[in-house]
Chain A
Amino acid sequence: MTEPVITARTTASEASLPSPAPGLVPSEAVIRIEGLCKSFDGRRVLDQVNLEVDRGRIVSVIGQSGGGKSTLMRCVNLLERPEAGTVEVAGEVVHSGGRTVCRDLPGLRRTVGMVFQRFHLFPHLTAVENVVLAQRRAGVPEQQALERAVALLRRVKVAHRGLARPEQLSGGEQQRVAIARALALQPEVLLFDEPTSSLDPEATREVLSVMRELAADGMTMLLVTHELPFAREVSDHVVFVDGGQIVEEGAPQDVLDNPAQARTQEFLASYGTTS
């Protein structure tokens, strides 16, 4: 695994993401998963799952709780180790045939940023320190790490709370700091694991607004969500997972508005979203 090059950005405007030129969106897969299997205590939670996320694309994974969505996402950065199948990130096979072949696991995880459902901010650090920590450990000089942290906090509209500790922040603010933290190492892809599930409607709106801006900037994203209208709005591809398998996938309007599979129709009916 090639060590990601971390070039410190020093100005606010530079905190924005490099967006692909219009009409020149590269199509190589940042994430490629083939034949992925994972069990917990003998119970199969992922069964022969195949998935690709191309650069600059947004893929939403939907499905009922316990269906394997989060496990699928956690297999990408190897927070969970699959028993079978292949995981490829940024062109590098990182896990294959039940063995981790990635020699630089920290490097892989800096390539793949992750935002958790319950934020998982470090409570002993201020918001800005939360964004600085991983940068410093990755070798970014102190001043540059701080400047980038402030720029990112501004980008997610929480710079005014930069010196607050997580317990002093609202849920929406905490999640936005978590997004800034995940962006700090300039990952090639962001994983969002139900980022609004722990939030009230107002905070959900704030977080979705930030994610919408990331999407507009061309950030590659793999998103586990229950926010179906949001998935319809921002996704290029929607995947419905149930019982550890991909039941149906395709363009948002196909999967969410005209699902072909009975199981998908049933799931969407429970959300009252099918036409």
Chain B
Amino acid sequence: MSALFQVPWTDYRSDLLDALGRTLSYTVVSFVGAVALGLAVALLRLSRAWPARAVAAVYTEVFKNVPLLAIIFLTYFGLASAGIKLDVFTAGCLSLIVFYAAYLSEIFRSAISGVHAEQTEAGEALGLGRASIFAHVVLPQAVRLALPGTNTMLVDLLKSTSLLVTVSAAELMSEGRLITSATFRALEVYLVISAVYFALCYPLSQLLLLLERKVRAGIPLSPLRRRRVRAAHELLAADLARPTVRKESAV
């Protein structure tokens, strides 16, 4: 065991922490961007206007069928040769966003389509406008349907940041490559780097599973809903404490 672990890890501690921070930054920024773009593309694919649907379909098919590595090279090296020079963080995030937005748009589209049309109709019958129906009726139900696939994509995106090693993005994998170059201990270094990825991804996926369960069980997650349910609970408890005769006469 001692023969396997000979890298002076304490010397690399601060570099590794920086790299870990950058991996997390790439993940968070790219995921937020991919969710926003994916939702926009999904809405375009569900649009009544065929040109919007066509543009969204072409986008999805292109980015689903091109390897992420090719997109990273195109964004960082390709655009630079066309005069558009992006820094490595921007290029890395942009690559991850356009790639994962294509997959997320498919997840969101199927989730939104999966909400029964009668739910929209019920909202209309209650006098809700289109924006209210989307925000308060369709979206919360679509989120519930989209959550498992979206969570898988988040964990996958985190792991895919390792591909940014090819443009020296100074994230975990790049740091691993630097340590390997300095120590020639490839097995040990990449075992440790893999363990760090596992230590990030496993708890994250378990947390997301917990979130899925809470959402499926209808547990209110937003502060507004929590307050409303608590207030309703108090009102209902006070109501149920009333004598039956009085309750019936009040009705």
Q: Cβ of A118 < 8 Å from any Cβ of B?
A: yes
Complex alpha-carbon distance, A162 and B137, angstroms: 19
Interface residues of B in 33-72 (CB under 8 A from A): none
Q: Cβ of A143 < 8 Å from any Cβ of B?
A: yes
Q: Are A129 and B229 CB-contacts (below 8 A) given A134-B126, A147-B235?
A: yes
Contacts of B125 in A (CB 8 A): 77, 79, 109, 113-114, 116, 120, 182
For residue A112, which residue of chain B has the nearest CB? B125
Chain A 143-170 per-residue mask, 1 if CB under 8 angstroms from chain B, else 0:
1001101110111010110110100000
Most B CB atoms within 10 A — which of A77, A108, A126, A181?
Answer: A126
Q: Cβ of A16 < 8 Å from any Cβ of B?
A: yes
Q: Cβ of A123 < 8 Å from any Cβ of B?
A: yes
Interface residues of A in 153-198 (CB under 8 A from B): 153-155, 157, 159-160, 162-163, 165, 181-182, 185
Complex alpha-carbon distance, A103 and B182, angstroms: 73
Contacts of A128 in B (CB 8 A): 232, 236
For residue B118, which residue of chain A has the nearest CB? A120
Q: Are A162 and B128 CB-contacts (below 8 A) given A120-B118, A122-B137, A123-B141?
A: no
Q: Cβ of A107 < 8 Å from any Cβ of B?
A: yes
Q: Cβ of A8 < 8 Å from any Cβ of B?
A: no
- What total of chain A residues lie within 8 Å of the partner, measured CB to CB? 50
Complex alpha-carbon distance, A107 and B228, angstroms: 25
- Asked if B127 contacts A107 (CB within 8 A), the reply is yes
Most B CB atoms within 10 A — which of A77, A106, A107, A138?
Answer: A106
- Asked if A16 contacts B228 (CB within 8 A), the reply is no
- Asked if A120 contacts B232 (CB within 8 A), the reply is no
Q: Cβ of B85 < 8 Å from any Cβ of A?
A: no
Complex alpha-carbon distance, A160 and B236, angstroms: 7
Complex alpha-carbon distance, A114 and B122, angstroms: 8
Q: Bin chain B's interface residue count.
A: 20 to 34
- Asked if A126 contacts B126 (CB within 8 A), the reply is no
Q: Cβ of B247 < 8 Å from any Cβ of A?
A: yes
Q: Cβ of B156 < 8 Å from any Cβ of A?
A: no
Complex alpha-carbon distance, A108 and B125, angstroms: 9
- Asked if A154 contacts B239 (CB within 8 A), the reply is yes
Out of B132, B229, B250, name the residue touching A137 (CB < 8 Å).
B132
Q: Which 3 A-B pairs have the closest CB atoms?
A: A120-B122, A110-B127, A134-B126
23 chain-A/chain-B pairs, Cβ below 8 angstroms:
A15-B251, A77-B125, A109-B124, A116-B118, A116-B122, A118-B118, A120-B119, A120-B121, A124-B144, A126-B218, A126-B232, A134-B126, A137-B126, A142-B228, A146-B231, A146-B235, A147-B235, A150-B235, A160-B240, A162-B236, A163-B229, A163-B236, A181-B126
